[in-house]
């Protein structure tokens, strides 16, 4: 019986330790992508390029092109290009674009978030390919999807953050689980 008790306690403690490390990873992710920050906006722009690039007609979509230019301005600044380069490269290749982000410091975080500066024409090429006779304009729904995607992502992130806040935060030990384990260990050792 004592071997079972020790085994059970070790299992319970291992489960708590694993959960604590997972919670810490989630808190780091949420912290670096806090809504409203320039880094979050850069992640949003680059992620929406990938999502929008899966839709037909994205090469002619002005919203997609604006997001593409914004991502190329901020990706090096926040050191996120390695996460997005492959997928953005595929979406850009369909438009005959060659994605190459501006060097770090090429735009300040506030400039990349507000799109207030013009890009040098040599840095980013956004000239669409020549129109083919078989090409048809993108339906209006495509633009709506691109515009609604950031709103949906913001709502999901806000909901997740509210859940975390209600639970007392991530990566923090609270007294309740530890106290519960102590009581459980005391009961099991009594037998």
Instruction: Give per-residue pLDDT as tens, 36-86.
Output: 888 889 889 999 999 999 999 999 999 999 999 999 999 888 888 888 899
Cα 143 to Cα 63: distance, rounded to the nearest angstrom: 7
pLDDT at 16 > cutoff 90: no
pLDDT at 135 > cutoff 70: no
**Residue-level pLDDT at 34:** 72
108-114-120-125 Cα dihedral, nearest 10 degrees? 120
**Residue-level pLDDT at 180:** 63
Q: Going by C-beta distance under 8 Å and a sequence separation of 6 or more, which residues neighbour residue 149?
A: 48, 51, 52
- For the chain, what are the domain ranges? 37-138
pLDDT at 114 > cutoff 50: no
**Residue-level pLDDT at 151:** 58
pTM for this prediction: 0.43
pLDDT digits (tens, 9 = 90+) for 162-176: 555 554 544 444 555
Regarding predicted confidence, which is higher, 34 or 138? Answer: 34
pLDDT at 154 > cutoff 90: no
Regarding predicted confidence, which is higher, 71 or 150? Answer: 71
What is the three-class DSSP state of 69? helix
**Residue-level pLDDT at 138:** 53
**DSSP letter assigned to residue 107:** S
At 57, list the tokens: 């007609």
Inter-residue contact 146 to 52 (CB < 8 Å): yes
Range with lowest mean pLDDT among 99-103, 132-136, 183-187: 132-136
At 12, list the tokens: 């319970």
Regarding predicted confidence, which is higher, 92 or 4? Answer: 92
């Amino acid at each position: 019986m004592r071997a079972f008790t020790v085994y059970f306690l070790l299992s319970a403690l291992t489960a708590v330790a694993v959960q604590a490390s997972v919670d810490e990873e989630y808190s780091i992710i949420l912290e670096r992508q806090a809504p409203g920050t320039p880094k979050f906006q850069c992640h949003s722009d680059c992620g929406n390029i990938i999502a929008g690039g899966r839709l037909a007609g994205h090469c002619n979509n002005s919203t997609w092109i604006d997001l593409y230019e914004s991502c190329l301005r901020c990706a090096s600044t926040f050191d996120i290009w390695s996460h997005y380069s492959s997928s953005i490269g595929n979406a850009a290749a369909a438009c005959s674009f060659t994605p190459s982000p501006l060097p770090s410091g090429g735009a300040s975080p506030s400039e990349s978030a507000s799109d207030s500066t013009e890009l040098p024409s040599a840095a980013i090429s956004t000239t669409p390919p020549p129109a083919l006779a078989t090409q048809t304009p993108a339906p209006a729904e495509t633009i709506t999807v691109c515009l609604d995607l950031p709103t949906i992502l913001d709502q999901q992130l806000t909901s997740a953050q509210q859940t975390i806040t209600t639970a007392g935060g991530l990566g923090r030990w609270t007294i309740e689980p530890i106290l519960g384990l102590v009581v459980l260990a005391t009961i099991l050792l009594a037998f």
